[in-house]
Structure 1
């Protein structure tokens, strides 16, 4: 049996050997370059192709190809050679211009997102390219991770005391003042009692649930609820309207549910919440036990009751059919009763914004854990 092809002898210069050894010591070097450097150095030491392949976990053809290039060109043989095929028609500079063009608005006053066809026309008109197809432009945008057709909305809060208010509310969420209760209160209005005109078609393998578009409206309900952020207990009531009198009647229920001790109320800047004369009289009747904390403008996410409303929407309202306002009210009350059977508070992990000094805020238990122990 033949002995096979003789392995090519690799003799590296002192300069190449030092450069490859320095490459191996770099912690940020690409793995591909490290493996190729090891092949060249091991071949320079006189090891066989089979031994190198077994040591590095590579195939024989791969090691043999790299060894042949190093034998003929030295360390330069480790570099990539130009690949065959037609060169790119659109260069890097033109690709960057296309990405910038896609980020520009479609119209000065009107639409903001241009179509692919419009982008192709504008690229040709501005001389970026002579010609480009929709599919080619789409591949360039995907490679550049640019999606100008997608939009994420956000709402800026103009409150000058935004950070201070958020940090104060977060402090109440993490620990209530001694002997007090922290309640998150808000209203969910315009809850529609919608009855599906025709029954759904149940899902089956390969087919999703089918729902008839037509429905019957039976009116709306308003839900006013208070969440005890530290116990998870919920107090709520449904009504046909959401007026100052309805909110005042609900707050009387809250006062009866918490007859002793200070009560901290967190709610938003709704006009019924800001009626100072009304709440001054209410507080006077209840021995000034209530302290009202207002979330910053456009910052409803700070109010924990919004989390409960989200769960209520998904579990009670979504894809539901309510035959009347009374039916909707019964299901809402059943949801609140079920939450109170096993109350569970939300785990609020947001510690607040950084202090004026730039030092990040830390949770109390985290600071205690980081504090050096005095035990011996």
Structure 2
């Protein structure tokens, strides 16, 4: 075969696709991922020394897997059979672990622990954990979900996503919502600053100095926000916020406002205001679908970077902190990038409904 350190590695389309998939693997397949990356690097025409330096592995390692790939192609990258202790866990035991995890619960319990299940099946807790990992089972985890019952779900998703991906000409699109009851919390003891090896520490108890509501309208094209602080979030407060949006929006532009189904957004006082301002049009998200409103992503940033670790000795301190943070945001604003089409969102909802509608559920 000659000197494999210099022999070029040429990949077919199937081999390249397979190696790229292997290269993305983690955890138990990490060894195979490294081998795939080595071969992909060799296919770029690099010699063993360059590949070793770029991937932070030894040159002997590069030489070994280049040689095995050139000799056996993809089969050469998998582990060869090794001598060892005979397998002690049977297929029946593996099946029992999986079936019990999916279809049963322990007596007086809500989910299996590895020790409880190991005792029932007759294997070690470590073996149960390996089986769970192999089948992607995580009985200790739980998540919440809510599928919108909105009869106009499809139409509303297409409407809102269409505004994100293809906004109308001569128009501005605002994602609008309220963040109610923002609390001015003062810790009962001074915050202890971070030091090497110790994170910042705060007392768990606090004194509350009142609350404030925040109206926000996110310009989906620029990322800038128009905001208004209010003591409440009634229909008249929402109407006043629409006035603020109207004042700060260039005349002559149509204004599309994306908002949720809060009763204040549909009150008669709001309808009357909209009739007097025909350039405004409200677009409602599906019920229980706040995730589709981009301003919620902005509220998450506000919570993480301003409120969650803030200490406010008065309501005025809270308002000042909010106004300063919003000003900084607008000075360096960037829009959030929406990538999913309406069809992709609806397809994913359909796939999830199919999964949870199977007989096991």
Shift of the 107–273 alpha-carbon distance from structure 1 to 2, 3 Å rule, reads farther
The alpha-carbon deviation at position 355 of structure 1 amounts to: 11
Q: Which runs of 5+ in 1 are unaligned?
A: 1-24, 33-53, 64-78, 124-130, 358-376
The alpha-carbon deviation at position 120 of structure 1 amounts to: 3.5
Shift of the 311–355 alpha-carbon distance from structure 1 to 2, 3 Å rule, reads closer
Question: Which whole-Å CA distance do the structure 2 matches of 1:246 and 1:334 have between them?
Answer: 22
- Deviations, residues 27-65 of structure 1 (Å, cap 9, x unaligned): 7799x9xxxxxxxxxxxxxxxxxxxxx9x9559xxx9xx
Question: Which whole-Å CA distance do the structure 2 matches of 1:159 and 1:353 have between them?
Answer: 17
For residue 188 of structure 1, what is the aligned residue in structure 2? 179
For residue 363 of structure 1, what is the aligned residue in structure 2? none
Matches within 5 A, 1:205-354: 205-258=196-249, 259-275=251-267, 277-286=268-277, 288-353=278-343
Shift of the 112–105 alpha-carbon distance from structure 1 to 2, 3 Å rule, reads farther
Shift of the 116–332 alpha-carbon distance from structure 1 to 2, 3 Å rule, reads same
RMSD: 3.5
The alpha-carbon deviation at position 302 of structure 1 amounts to: 1.2
Matched position secondary structure for 2:173? strand
For residue 102 of structure 2, what is the aligned residue in structure 1? 103
**With structure 1 as the length reference, what TM-score do the two structures score?**
0.66
- Asked whether the 8 Å contact 1:226–1:236 carries over to 2, the reply is yes
Matched position secondary structure for 2:342? coil
The alpha-carbon deviation at position 225 of structure 1 amounts to: 0.9
- Asked whether the 8 Å contact 2:182–2:211 carries over to 1, the reply is yes
- Asked whether the 8 Å contact 2:236–2:270 carries over to 1, the reply is no
Q: Which moved more, 1:92-101 or 1:151-160?
A: 151-160
The alpha-carbon deviation at position 324 of structure 1 amounts to: 0.9
Question: Which whole-Å CA distance do the structure 1 matches of 2:81 and 2:271 have between them?
Answer: 81
Matched position secondary structure for 1:183? strand
Shift of the 348–145 alpha-carbon distance from structure 1 to 2, 3 Å rule, reads closer
For residue 112 of structure 2, what is the aligned residue in structure 1? 114
Shift of the 292–91 alpha-carbon distance from structure 1 to 2, 3 Å rule, reads same
- Asked whether the 8 Å contact 2:234–2:264 carries over to 1, the reply is yes
Question: Which whole-Å CA distance do the structure 2 matches of 1:332 and 1:307 have between them?
Answer: 16
- Asked whether the 8 Å contact 1:163–1:353 carries over to 2, the reply is no
Shift of the 91–236 alpha-carbon distance from structure 1 to 2, 3 Å rule, reads same
Shift of the 90–242 alpha-carbon distance from structure 1 to 2, 3 Å rule, reads same
Shift of the 350–206 alpha-carbon distance from structure 1 to 2, 3 Å rule, reads same
Higher helix share: 2
| Aligned residues between the structures | 284
For residue 173 of structure 1, what is the aligned residue in structure 2? 164
* 1:160 is aligned to 2:158: no
- Asked whether the 8 Å contact 1:221–1:238 carries over to 2, the reply is yes
